[in-house]
Each structure stands twice: as structure tokens, then as C-alpha cells.
Amino acid sequence: MGVVASTVAAAAPGARFIELRRVSKTFESGDGSRTEALQALDLEVREREFVSILGPSGCGKSTLLRIIAGLMSFDGEDVVVDGESVSRPRQDVGVVFQTANLLPWRNVAANLALGVEIRGESLDSARLAAMVEMLGLTGFESRYPHELSGGMKQRVALGQALVRDPKLLLLDEPFGALDALTRDKLNIELLRIWQAEQKTVVLVTHSITEAVLLSDRVLVLSGRPGKVIEDVGIDLPRPREPRTTRQSPEFSRLVGYLGELMGVV
Amino acid sequence: MKHQVVRHALQSGAFFLALGLLWEGSVRVFEIRSYLLPPLSAIVRELVSSRALLFRHLFITLEEVLLGFVLAVLGGALMAVAVFFIPIAKRTIYPLLIGLQSIPKVGLAPLIVVWFGYGVTSKVVMSFLFAFFPIVISALGGLAGTPSHLVEHFRALGAPPWITFWKLRVPSALPSFVDGCKVAMPLAVIGAVVGEFVGSNEGLGNLILLSTSSSRGSLTFAALAAVTALSLGLFAIVAGLGKWVWWRAQ
């Protein structure tokens, strides 16, 4: 369907990892009115693939992510992650939400450790140091959330998901609440981290440039009820260097095309 | 900065000194009888000369208050957890609690003394009754006020219920619980003193009652000062311990 048919990544994506078959979701509010958030949605993500879900606000993007995470019930056929039907959250999945869910009584190190503590493990100091280094948080290990900027909090939230060494990372507009500069910076960091860790990632976003810069594939959702209206392969070479990637004509073409699809151009 | 702190302290000090002098002066000028209002100096003298007597009664009241308060803290926390997690408790025990709370506890005091006797026990019960409710309500509010985005986050992390309880709900309820304890501490003192008023052989409440009926105004005021100091001291200890819980779950 997409203008770019082939999907080429540095490491070619592997076997099918996530599959949604005809998934619907209807919310019923207190007064009995029903809102259809998703309608018979099909979706497939391959192993080690970075897929962004792009759509207007209120189109059910976050609902979709919560269903994949096992946080929300759904109607329809099936949701499969790594060969298993999803019925509740899995230990090998990391979720990062728009608000950094940090515990105010724990410092950075302890908030990072929470990711594995919940499995009854502890975070050894070498791994903690490596994570802190990768997130660019060196020197902030013993700071508390109220002493951190919004961008730093999101780094910690991302780190808390990464220390679990998840097979799948679900990101729900993780940088959506940040200013444009911080957001750009964190996208570059995320690109670097993904290129080092090669997880399967599903990113929900409403930023077209963010989606194009990071993804192997962008799924465009329609307005409510959400359906995949376009599946766009992002054929930019990997590893991507943020500056040159953004300056390439292919990048502008994809951004323009997606903008047209979403009706912003 | 430091200069300003000193100046502010001097202002407060001057105010209270003036108030004390006004008291002392008016009592002397208007020749107020000492069983009505003794001069400040007489109360200070009484505090010194009757210190052994005051301390004996103070320790009795302290014992009653501490027992009542500690039981209220433990019982209140347990009750809040039970009401929060057991749906049937919310429909049965919780309305019962609200109903009981609505009974004026001062009115209950004579019954409590009849039931539990003239000794320490009835005052512990009174102290407990005064302190219990604010602790339950604050702990319950704290548990229920755990931010829902954090609860969802723990679910996303696959946390079992007891981990969510210990690592999320308890710490996020603690600030509110500490506030409840701060409210409850002076109430526990009031409860014990009310119990002593209604029927007792000892304690500061008893001393206030006896000294008033024997027209020893300065001793009454000295005993009042001792109760106040006890209440303030215990509050300061609770507030000091509460500083350990510095965070607010947002």
C-alpha cells in the first residue's frame, strides 16, 4: 500500500513478533453512551522492527498500545505477542508512558532498579552504571525526581524499562510532554539506544518527523474509530545519523507524504 | 538574612514578654483573687515548688496518652487497610465507624469509666477513641489517593498485588497518614484528660479538678501548663518523626 514497499534495516527484522487480528475496542461511559476507539484493526510487527503508530489525537493510539501491553481488555479475534495470546502484562515487555512514572520517594538509581525489583531481582552496580551512562544521567544517580527536569525524568523512565532487558518496548508518546528541543535531543538518544540494543519497538506518536527519523515502518491511523489506513515503509539507511538523515531528500519526501496523509499539508 | 531572623525572634519575644507583664500587672492592679486568676509569677513559683507532684501526675497522663495513641496508630492503620482492601468491610465496618464517630465522645466518657473502671484503662480507651478516627480517615485517604497512573505503571511492570501494596500504596499513603497522626496526637491528650475529669484518682486532669475545687488557682494553672507542655512536646516528637516522610506522591 505504501509508496515505499521494501523495508530495509541494518539488521533485517526477523519473525513475526506482534500480531493483532480484527481488534476492536468500545468504551462505555457512565451515561450509557458508547465510543468506538478501535475498529477491526489488523497489525503486524516483526522482531527487532521499530514501528511507529501515527494518528490524530483521540484516534485510539494509546488504547492500541495498552491493549498490546495487556493493560486493557479488547474485543475481536486475538492479540499475540511472541507467540502467546495477550491477557495480562508480560515481564519481558517494557512500557514507557507520556508522564514519567517515577516514585517520588526513590532516587534515580532506586527508580531504575524498580524495573527488575518487581521480578524479585536486584540491579547490580555494573549494570546500573552502564545504564546511567547510556542514558546520560551520570552524576544524577542519587537525585530525586523532583530535582530532575522533564527530559531527565523521561530518560529514567526509559531506563527503568530497559533494565528489564525487554524483548518489546512500548512507548506511548514518551517525549510528548517535553519542549521541542528536549524532544529532538531525546529522539536522537532513542535512535542511538535502539541501534545499540535492537529491541522490537512500538512507538505511539503524533510527530511525523519523530516517526520518520526513528522507524522502519510507520502505521497511519484514521480518526476515531481507529483503523490502519496506510503502512509506510521508511527506507532510510541504518545506522542513521540524525543530521544527515534529516537533510536527505528521502526524509523530506516521507515527511511530506505522511503529512499529506494526515491532512496537515 | 541572619539579621532578619534575629529581628523576628526579638519581635516574638517582646510580644510575649509584654503579654506576661500585662497579665502580672493587671492581676495586681485590679486585685483579682488568686483562685480566679493568679499572677504569672505565682504560677511559675508553683511549677517549681510542686514539680514532684506535677511530674507524678504528668507521667500517669503520659502513660495513658502514649498507650492510647500507639493503639490508635496501629489500629487505625490496620483498619484503613482492611476497609480499603476488603469490599465487605467498606460496606459494614466503615459506616459503623462513621456512626460511632458521630457520638460525642465526651458524652461517652462516663460510660467508659463505668465499663473500664477508675484506673488507667478507661483513660487509654478515651485517648484511643479521640485519636483513632483521624488516623483511619487519613490513612484511608492516603491509600485511595495513590496516583492512578502509578498504579497502572505497576500493573504494566507486572507487579503482584503485595508488591504494589508495599512499594507503592504504603509509601504514597504515608504523607497523609503522618498528617493524620499529627492531628490525632493532641486529641489523644484531650481524650485522656477528659477521662480523668470524669472519674480518676490521678493524672493531670484529676489534679486540675482537685486544685480548682480546693481554690488552689496557681496549682490549677500549673497543671494546665503541664498538660499544654505535654501536648506540645508529644506533637513535636510526632512532627519530628514525620519529617522522615518528606515526599508527596503527585
Q: Shortest Cα distance from B81 to chain A (angstroms)?
A: 21
For residue A96, report the phi and psi dihedrals to the nearest 5 degrees: -125, 125
Q: What is the mean pLDDT of chain B?
A: 94
* CA distances to A235, B2, B16, B72 from B7, in Å: 72, 9, 15, 42
- Among A residues 45-64, those touching chain B with beta carbons less than 8 Å apart: none
Closest C-alpha to B33, from B224, B220, B216, B223: B216
pLDDT, mean of residues A225-238: 88
Report the Cα A235 to chain-centroid distance in Å.
Answer: 19
- Complex ipTM tops 0.95: no
The string of pLDDT tens digits covering residues B186-216 is: 999 999 999 999 999 999 999 999 999 988 8
Count of Cβ atoms closer than 10 Å to residue B116 Cβ: 17
Helix (H) or strand (E) holding B195: helix B170-198
Mutate to test the interface with A, among B149, B150, B153, B246 (most CBs of A within 10 A): B153
Check residue B249 and give its pLDDT.
Answer: 65
Rounded-to-integer distance, Cα A220 and Cα B131, Å: 59
- pLDDT at position A4: 40
d(C-alpha B224, C-alpha B226), whole Å:
5
CB A158 within 8 A of CB A96: yes
Under 8 Å between Cβ of B247 and B175: yes
Q: What is the pLDDT of residue B141?
A: 94
| Sheet strands (E) in A8-147 | 16-28, 34-46, 50-54, 75-81, 84-85, 93-96
Q: What is residue A10's predicted lDDT score, i.e. its pLDDT?
A: 44
- A142 CB-contact burial (10 Å; exposed 0-12 / middle 13-18 / buried 19+): exposed
Task: For residue A98, give the chain B residue with the closest CA.
Answer: B149
- Identify the residue among A118, A119, A162 best suited for mutation to test binding to B, counting B beta carbons within 10 A and taking the highest: A118
Rounded CA separation B38/B188 (Å) = 28
Decide: A101 and B150 in contact? Cβ < 8 Å.
yes
pLDDT digits (tens, 9 = 90+) for A161-218: 999 989 999 999 998 888 888 888 888 888 888 888 888 999 999 889 999 999 999 9
A143 shares contact with chain B (CB less than 8 Å): no
Q: pTM, whole model, 2 decimals?
A: 0.85
The pLDDT score that the predictor gives to residue A46 is 93
Instruction: Please give the pLDDT value at position A13.
Output: 61
Q: What is the pLDDT of residue B83?
A: 94
CA–CA distance, A171 with B162 (Å, rounded to integer) = 27
Q: What is the mean pLDDT of residues A236-247?
A: 87
Amino acid at B42: A
Which is more confidently placed, B130 or A83? B130
Above 60 in pLDDT, residue A11? no
Q: With beta carbons less than 8 A apart as the criterion, state whether A187 and A25 touch.
A: no
Distance in Å, alpha carbon of A69 to nearest chain B alpha carbon = 7
Q: What is the pLDDT of residue B1?
A: 67
Q: How far is A247 from chain B (nearest CA, A)?
A: 38
Residues of chain B in contact with residue A99, where contact means CB-CB under 8 angstroms, are 149
Name the DSSP class of B165.
I
Angle formed by the axes of helices A150-162 and A180-197, to 10°?
20
User: Nearest Cβ partner of B158 from A90, A101, A105?
Assistant: A90
What does the angle CA A81 – CA A86 – CA A91 come to, to the nearest 5 degrees?
Answer: 75
Chain B residues touching A95 at Cβ < 8 A:
153, 156-157
Distance set, CA A155 to CA A96, B219, B243 (Å): 10, 65, 29
Residue in A41, A43, A54 with CA at minimum distance from that of residue A17: A43
CA–chain centroid gap for A57, Å, is 16
In this prediction, residue B152 has a pLDDT band, given cuts at 50, 70 and 90, of very high
* pLDDT (tens digit per residue) in B15-62: 999 999 999 999 999 998 888 899 999 999 999 999 999 999 999 999
Which tens digits make up the pLDDT trace of A54-111?
988 778 888 999 999 999 999 888 999 988 899 899 888 999 998 889 999 999 999 9
Nearest Cα of chain B lies from the Cα of A157 at a distance, in angstroms, of 10
User: What value does the mean pLDDT take over residues B128-148?
Assistant: 95
Closest chain B residue to the Cα of A157, Cα to Cα? B153
Report how far apart the first and last C-alpha atoms of chain B are (Å, whole number).
32
| Cβ–Cβ gap B157/A118 under 8 Å | yes
- What pLDDT score was predicted for residue A7? 40
Q: How many CB pairs under 8 A join A and B?
A: 47
Q: How far is B180 from chain A (nearest CA, A)?
A: 19
The three cell numbers locating residue A193: 539506544
pLDDT tens profile A133-169: 888 899 999 999 999 999 899 999 999 999 998 999 9
Other C-beta atoms lying within 10 Å of the C-beta of residue B152: 18
Partners of residue B149 in chain A, C-beta under 8 Å = 97, 99, 101
